[in-house]
Amino acid sequence: MSNPFFSEYKTPFGAVPFDEIKNEHYLPALAKAIEELNSEIEAIKTNSEAPTFENTIEKYATSGEMLNKVSGVFFNLHSAHTNDEMTEIAKEFAPKLTAATNNIRLDAKLFERIKAVYETKESLALTAEQMTLLEKSYKDFARNGALLADAQKDEVRKIDEELSTLGLKFSDNVLKETNEYKLVIENEADLKGLPESIVEAAAITATEKGHEGKWVFTLDYTSYGPFVTYCENRALREEIARAASKKACKGDERDNQEIIKRIAVLRHKRANILGYATHADFVLEERMALKASNVFGLLNDLKDKAMPAAKEHIDEIKDFANKLDGITTLMPWDYSYYFEKLKKEKYSIDDEMLRPYFKLENVIDGIFQVAKKLFGLNFTIRNDIPKYHEDVITYEVTDAAGNHVALFYGDYFPRATKRSGAWMTLFREQHIDGNTDIRPHVANVCNFTKPTKTKPSLLTFNEVTTLFHEFGHGLHGMLSKCKYETLAGTNVFWDFVELPSQIMENWAYEKECLDLFAKHYETGELIPAELVEKVKTSANFGEGQGTLRQLSFGLLDMSWHAADPSSIDSVEDHEEKATRDVRLLPKIDGGLSSTAFGHIFAGGYSAGYYSYKWAEVLDADAFEFFKEKGIFNTEVADLFRENILEKGGSEHPMKLYKQFRGHEPKVDALLRRSGLL
C-alpha cells in the first residue's frame, strides 16, 4: 500500500497532501514513525563518544520528525474534520503514541547522557536558546519520571496511557452530545425576536437535518448563542439552555462525570509519584505563576475588584427584566436576553446593528491588512495547496520583500465533523534544519455562521474579536525565528501563550483599524464613527459579571487540580462549592460545566485556565504601549515581533516581555481598560 507519510511530500512548500491521506494510512505510518524514532534514540544512547550538547541534546531535539508529521495530521483532523472510523483509530493511536513517548522519557540510559550534559552547562558556551533547550530537555525527563525507580516508572506509563484514552473519550462524548441535540421549531411565532439571518440559518439547518419547512437550533454556539440572546419565547430559551448545561452529564453512556473524576484522580496520583503535592504544583512549576497560591492570589484580587461592579450590573439587569416582563427570578437563560436589550436601551447598540459591517471575507481581509501594517506581511490565496475540506482557504504568506514566510489555512464554518470553539494549530512547526529555515504551516479553525441564500457570513462583534484572537496565535506561529522546533512559535509557558492572541483583540475596537474593513455588506458604507464610539463606550457594560464568569472557570479548574480530588463524589456538589463565591445567578438544576469543559479535561489547560486572565494583564499593559505611540507604530510593532513573536519559548517569557515593554506587566492597565479601577 502506498502511504503518503512514507516519503517527502511533493506538494508546494511540502504542504500536507490531504487529498492523498486515507484513514488506513494512519496506524501503519504511526508504527513506522515509532520505529524510526526508536532507531534515532538508540543511536544517541549507543554513541561511544562522551555526551555533548550536539550529539545528545540537539540530536534528541531533532528526532521524531516523522512521528510529529503523522500525529500532527491525525490529531488536527480528529478535531477539525473527524469521522467514526477516526474515532475508533484514535482508541489505538493515542495509547501507542503515549507508550512510545513514555518509553523514551523514562529511558535511564538516554537520561544519563542528558543529565551529564546538564551538569556541565555552566562550562558550555551556549546561546540563550541552546541553554533553554538544555534545561527544558533535562526538566522534561526529570518532571516525567526519569529519576524514579522502575516500578514507579511503570505506574507513570500506565497512568499516561489511561489518561490519553480518557481524554479522547471525553471529547468524543462532548462532540456527539453537541451533534445530537436539536431544537425543532414548527411555529413561526416562536421565532419572534430572532434576527432574520439567524432564522434563515436555522431553516438551512432544518433542511440538512431532515426537517424541511421547519427551523432547527443546535448547541453549536453560532446557533445557541443568538437563540438565547434574542428569542422572546422564554420557555424555549430555557429548553435549549438546560440542554446545553446537561451536555455529557445525563447519566447515559455519554456521561463524562466518572471520566473527569478518574482524570483528576490519575493526574493527582501521577503528580504524587513525581514528588509534587498536587497536579497544580506539577503544572505551575513551569508557568510564570510558579505556584497555586499566586494563581489564587490573582483570581481573588480580580474577584474583589470585579464583585461590586458585577453585583450592581446584575441588580440592574434584574430590575430591567422585572419592569419589562415581570420576571421575578433572573435565570441563566434570561441573562443574555435582557443584557442585550438593556445594552441597546442604554447605548443604542446591539450585535445586530453591527453585523452588516462585519462580512467574514472583509474581516479576514482587514486582519491581513493589520498584519501588513504592523509586520509587512502579505497573504495570497493558493489554489494549488491541498486542503482537508472544501471550506478551507489556503494562503501563502510573504514578507515585504516577497520572501516566503508561512502557509496559512483558514477554516471558518461549523460542521458535524468539527468540534466546537475556535483554535489555532500547526501542521508544521518552524525550525532550522542545517542551514535551511523550515517555515511553518499554520491553521485557524473557527465556527462562524455559514452564508445563506440571501446573506453572506456576517459576524457578531464578539466573533470579530475571536477572529483577531486566533489570528494573533497564528502570527506567533508564522513569525517564529527559532532554531529548535520544540521552542518555536507557541511553544512557550502556558500563561504566556495568550499574549499574542489577546493583544490582537484590541485593534478591533479602534476606528483606525475598523476603517480598513468594517464596510456595510450591501452599501459599502464605512462603519460610522458614532457606532464605533458606542462599541467602545459599551465595551465595559457587564465587565464585572464577565470577569466573574472567567474567574469561575479558573477557580473550577483549580478546584479539580490544586487539591486531592479523590474525595469528590458528586460533581454537582463540587462545582457548587468551587464557584459559589463568584456566581450571582442561580445554577441550572442538574446542569454541569465540568463535563463539557474541554479546555481542562482534553485541551491542555489543566491548572492553567487562569492564564486567560493573566494574559489580559499582559495584553492590556502591552497595548498601552501601542496606544502611546500609535496603534500602527512600526517601532513598537518591531519590538513586539523581535522580542515576543519571533522568540517563541527560546528565553524566559518575563525576560522577553521586559525587553519589549521596558518593565514588568502591571495589573492596573487591565483594571483601567475594564473600568474596574
Q: Which residues are catalytic?
A: 470
Q: What residues pair up with 393 in beta bridges, in sequence order? A: 410
Residue written as grid cell 425543532: 184
- Give the integer Cα–Cα distance in Å for 474 and 611: 18
- What torsion, rounded to 10 degrees, do the Cα atoms 657, 661, 664, 667 define? -110
Strand ranges, E, within 266-331 = none
Task: Give the count of alpha carbons within 13 A of 563, CB side only.
Answer: 12
Report the candidate in 8, 90, 13, 81 with the shortest Cα–Cα distance to residue 388: 81
Asked whether 647 and 656 are in contact (CB, 8 A), the reply is: yes
Residue 497 in grid coordinates: 501563550
Q: How many CA atoms lie within 13 A of 284 on its CB side?
A: 23
What is the number of other CB atoms lying within 10 angstroms of the CB of residue 643? 17
Q: Shortest CA distance to 79 belongs to which of 163, 174, 180, 205? A: 174
What is the distance between the alpha carbons of residues 503 and 660, in angstroms, rounded to a whole number?
A: 14
Whether 516 and 522 have beta carbons less than 8 Å apart is answered as no
Query: Among the residues of 452-591, which ranges form H helices?
Result: 461-478, 499-505, 511-514, 529-538, 543-561, 571-579
Distance CA 293, CA 596 (A): 26
Q: Give the helix/strand (H/E) hosting 235.
A: helix 234-245
Cell digits of residue 195: 434576527
Instruction: For residue 396, list its beta bridge partners.
Output: 380, 407
Please choose, from the candidates 386, 365, 385, 363, the residue with its C-alpha nearest in 3D space to the C-alpha of residue 377: 365
CA gap 44, 56 in Å, rounded:
6
Dihedral angle, C-alpha 115, 116, 120, 124, nearest 10 °: -100
Calpha distance 115→98 (Å, rounded):
23
CB 185 within 8 A of CB 236: yes
CA angle 621, 287, 477 (to 5 degrees): 70
Judged on CB neighbours under 10 Å (0-12, 13-18, 19+), 399 is middle
- How many contiguous H segments (helices) and E segments (strands) does the chain have? 27, 9
Distance (Å, rounded) from C-alpha 584 to C-alpha 163? 34
SS3 588: coil
Which region holds residue 513: left if phi is over 0, alpha if psi is between -120 and 50, else beta? Answer: alpha
To 5 degrees, how large is the angle CA 79–CA 604–CA 622? 105
Q: Select from 395, 424, 379 the least CA-distant residue to 80.
A: 424
What is the rounded distance in angstroms from the CA atom of residue 415 to the CA atom of residue 229? Answer: 22
